[in-house]
Homo-oligomer: A and B are copies of this chain.
Amino acid sequence: MPDSKPPGSPRRSDTTRTAILDAARERFAADGYERATIRAIARDASIDPSMVMRYYGSKEGLFAAAVAVDLKLPDLTALPREEIGRALVTHFLDMWEENEVLTALLRVGVTNEAGAERMQGIFRDQLLPVARTVCPDPEQVPARAALCSTQLLGLALTRYVLRFPPVVTLPREEAVAWLAPTVQRYLTAPHP
Question: Taking beta carbons and an 8 Å cutoff, which residues of A are in contact with B?
Answer: 31-32, 34-35, 106-107, 109-111, 116, 119-120, 123, 142-143, 145-147, 149-155, 157-159, 161-167, 169-170, 174, 177-179, 181-182, 185-186, 192
Looking at the assembled complex, report how far the CB atom of A106 sits from the nearest CB atom of chain B, in whole angstroms.
7
Looking at the assembled complex, report how far the CB atom of A169 sits from the nearest CB atom of chain B, in whole angstroms.
8
Copies of this chain present: 2
Interface of A is mostly: helix
Q: Which residues of B contact A109 (CB under 8 A)?
A: 162
Name the CB-closest residue of B to A32: B111
Looking at the assembled complex, report how far the CB atom of A156 sits from the nearest CB atom of chain B, in whole angstroms.
8
Looking at the assembled complex, report how far the CB atom of A124 sits from the nearest CB atom of chain B, in whole angstroms.
8
